[in-house]
């Protein structure tokens, strides 16, 4: 009993601090996001601003309001950035790890070289890559070294977009995507013979798809079409981010590869597995948990990205905008504190979406032990 009280007392200060400075401030941000702080310039920066409760008005404006078109583009940018950044870092990291796992000459040297970018901050990386990606220098003049004409691609300054879709179709696409994922889950449940899981996933997936193709395709968020897509200007940013983080995934994968017991590999060889089969059925499945943890880390970095884009393209350039930058612009330049808080909360939700399931599964594992 005394031990317990002592333990509680030792923990108390950090509990209080975390309670105030993490959860208290999350609560305050939530409250601010539900007010009109910033709508009235006389109140925005007053010593004691009077705030009025406006409910979800700020969120509604962000997704369907007239002037917040930039927020919507920034969300689309964030989704594409996260996808390509994670795919790029994982893919390149795995390739590098597989190459180093062959124990080439100078392995330690290469390992250091590949890991080195991680020691830099995103601001430094961004500045270097901004120089490299100048329209009339850096990467674009590389071909001239071997006598070819310089590349004409305006890396960070293009306004071109691909995969353009109408924002009004967003509910449709979301329902379609989630529905298809649920059907996939149902398929897995059917193969695994879990009948309850099959029933529920089939039912909810079916309902979603039905909604998508009937009502969902007729929802109008805005009174006019608003095209958004993947900005090609982001390619340069993705390149820099992948360059920075693929060393980290390489290190993770290399540790994973070295951790696979030799006996397992030898057993597989004895059973007659070729080298592709060895990778496909033995090594990659064993690396799956590493991929998951790498995805969690990369995912939350991608969702919070700010400094890299700040350094590479600046704050004002919409084609490389992400929600964190738009939040900064709204709150600290436009004095729209409530709307900024709303974006902050949406980002928190996004990160939670990535991190919480992971934490939950880890916790369950520990409880099981």
Number of Cα atoms under 13 Å in the Cβ half of residue 62: 23
Q: Is 60 in the site for other proteins (CB under 8 A)?
A: no
Q: Is 127 in the site for other proteins (CB under 8 A)?
A: no
Binding mask 280-299 for other proteins (x = CB under 8 A): --------------------
Question: Contacting other proteins (CB under 8 A), which of 52, 159, 195, 280?
Answer: 159
Q: What are the tokens at 362?
A: 């880890």
Residue 274: how many other CB atoms lie within 10 Å? 10
Q: Is 157 in the site for other proteins (CB under 8 A)?
A: yes
Q: Is 193 in the site for other proteins (CB under 8 A)?
A: no
By rule CB under 8 A, what count of residues binds other proteins?
37
- Stretch of residues binding other proteins (CB under 8 A), selected from 13-21, 61-69, 88-96, 297-305: 61-69
Return the number of the residue (178 or 222) whose C-beta is nearest other proteins. 222
Return the number of the residue (206 or 319) whose C-beta is nearest other proteins. 319
Question: Contacting other proteins (CB under 8 A), which of 38, 171, 256, 340?
Answer: 38
Burial, 196: exposed, middle or buried (Cβ in 10 Å; 0-12, 13-18, 19+)?
exposed
Listed in sequence order, the residues at least 6 apart from 279 whose beta carbon sits closer than 8 Å to its beta carbon are none
Q: Bridge-partner residues for 231, per DSSP?
A: 161
Question: Contacting other proteins (CB under 8 A), which of 216, 299, 336, 341?
Answer: 336
What is the nearest approach in angstroms of other proteins to the Cβ of residue 267? 56
What is the nearest approach in angstroms of other proteins to the Cβ of residue 242? 21
Return the number of the residue (151 or 268) whose C-beta is nearest other proteins. 151
Residue 348: how many other CB atoms lie within 10 Å? 15
Q: Is 153 in the site for other proteins (CB under 8 A)?
A: no
Q: Is 335 in the site for other proteins (CB under 8 A)?
A: yes
What is the nearest approach in angstroms of other proteins to the Cβ of residue 2? 44
- Stretch of residues binding other proteins (CB under 8 A), selected from 2-10, 68-76, 78-86, 199-207: 68-76
Listed in sequence order, the residues at least 6 apart from 33 whose beta carbon sits closer than 8 Å to its beta carbon are 58, 59, 338, 339, 341, 342, 344, 345
- Stretch of residues binding other proteins (CB under 8 A), selected from 21-29, 80-88, 297-305, 308-316: 308-316
Which helix (DSSP H) or strand (DSSP E) does residue 112 occupy?
helix 107-115
Question: Contacting other proteins (CB under 8 A), which of 22, 333, 352, 357?
Answer: 333
Instruction: Give dist(CA 6, CA 272) in Å, integer.
Output: 59
Q: What is the DSSP letter of 35?
A: B
Site residues, other proteins (CB under 8 A): 38-39, 41-47, 66-67, 69-70, 73, 130, 134-136, 154, 156-157, 159, 313-319, 328-330, 332-336
């Amino acid at each position: 009993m005394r031990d317990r009280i002592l333990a509680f007392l030792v923990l108390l200060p950090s509990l209080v601090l975390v309670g105030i400075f993490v959860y208290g401030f999350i609560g305050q941000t939530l409250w601010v996001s539900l007010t009109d702080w910033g709508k009235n310039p006389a109140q925005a920066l007053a010593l004691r601003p009077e705030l009025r409760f406006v409910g979800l008005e700020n969120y509604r404006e962000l997704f369907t309001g007239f002037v917040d078109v930039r927020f919507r583009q920034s969300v689309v940018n964030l989704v594409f950035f996260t996808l390509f950044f994670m795919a790029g870092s994982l893919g390149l990291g795995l390739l590098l790890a597989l190459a180093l796992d062959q124990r080439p000459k100078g392995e330690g040297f290469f390992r250091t070289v590949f890991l080195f970018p991680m020691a830099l901050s995103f601001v430094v990386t961004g500045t270097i890559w901004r120089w490299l990606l100048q329209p009339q220098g850096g990467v674009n003049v590389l071909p001239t070294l071997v006598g070819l004409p310089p590349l004409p691609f305006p890396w960070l300054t293009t306004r071109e977009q691909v995969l353009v879709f109408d924002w009004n179709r967003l509910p449709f696409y979301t329902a379609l995507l989630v529905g298809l994922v649920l059907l996939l889950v149902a398929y897995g449940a059917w193969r695994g013979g879990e009948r309850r899981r099959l029933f529920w996933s089939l039912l909810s997936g079916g309902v979603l798809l039905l909604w998508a193709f009937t009502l969902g395709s007729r929802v109008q968020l805005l009174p006019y079409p608003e095209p958004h897509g993947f900005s090609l200007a982001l390619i340069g940013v993705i390149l820099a981010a992948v360059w920075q983080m693929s060393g980290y995934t390489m290190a993770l994968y290399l540790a994973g590869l070295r951790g696979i017991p030799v006996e397992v590999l030898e057993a597989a060889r004895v059973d007659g597995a070729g080298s592709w089969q060895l990778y496909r059925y033995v090594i990659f499945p064993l690396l799956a948990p590493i991929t998951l943890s790498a995805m969690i880390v990369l995912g939350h970095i991608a969702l919070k990205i700010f400094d890299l884009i700040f350094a590479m393209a600046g704050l004002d350039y919409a084609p490389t905008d992400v929600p964190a930058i738009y939040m900064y612009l709204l709150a600290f330049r436009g004095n729209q504190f409530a709307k900024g808080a709303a974006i902050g909360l949406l980002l928190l939700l996004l990160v939670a979406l990535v991190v919480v399931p992971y934490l939950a599964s880890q916790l369950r594992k520990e409880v099981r032990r």
